[in-house]
Amino acid sequence: MVTSWYNDIMRIISRRILRDFWEKHPDARVPLQTWFHDVEHAIWNTPADIKTVYQNVSFVADNRVVFNIKGNQYRLVVVVVYRHGVVYIRFVGTHEEYDRIDVTTI
């Protein structure tokens, strides 16, 4: 089992992306804040650790993970660096906006 490089919880970079999004979409605020809180207290060493909590999560290339937010109304794409316990937010948007991106390169 690999432990986090810096500490035993996940570091999320950056909350500002989420905040900017929920200012435009106020109904996303509570679900995104809940996701943030849950993840910053999680320990993710493998994709299986994520899957135990988020059954509907999708895994794509290069450690990208897609979360359904607010009943799949919104999508959140992150890159997880398991070894260092870091989650990089790469995209948050509506389902329609998500359909227009290439999740493997964002």
Residue 68 belongs to a domain: yes
The per-residue pLDDT for range 63-106, each reduced to its tens digit, is 999 999 998 899 999 999 998 999 999 999 998 999 999 998 88
Based on the number of CB atoms within 10 Å of its own CB, is 78 exposed (0-12), middle (13-18) or buried (19 or more)?
buried
What is the spatial order of strands in the sheet that 11-13 belongs to? Answer: 11-13, 86-94, 74-81, 64-69, 58-60
3 pLDDT above the threshold of 60: no
Mean confidence (pLDDT) of the chain: 89
pTM: 0.88
Residue 5 belongs to a domain: no
Total number of domains in the chain: 1
Domain that holds residue 54: 11-97
CATH number, domain with residue 81: 3.30.2310.20
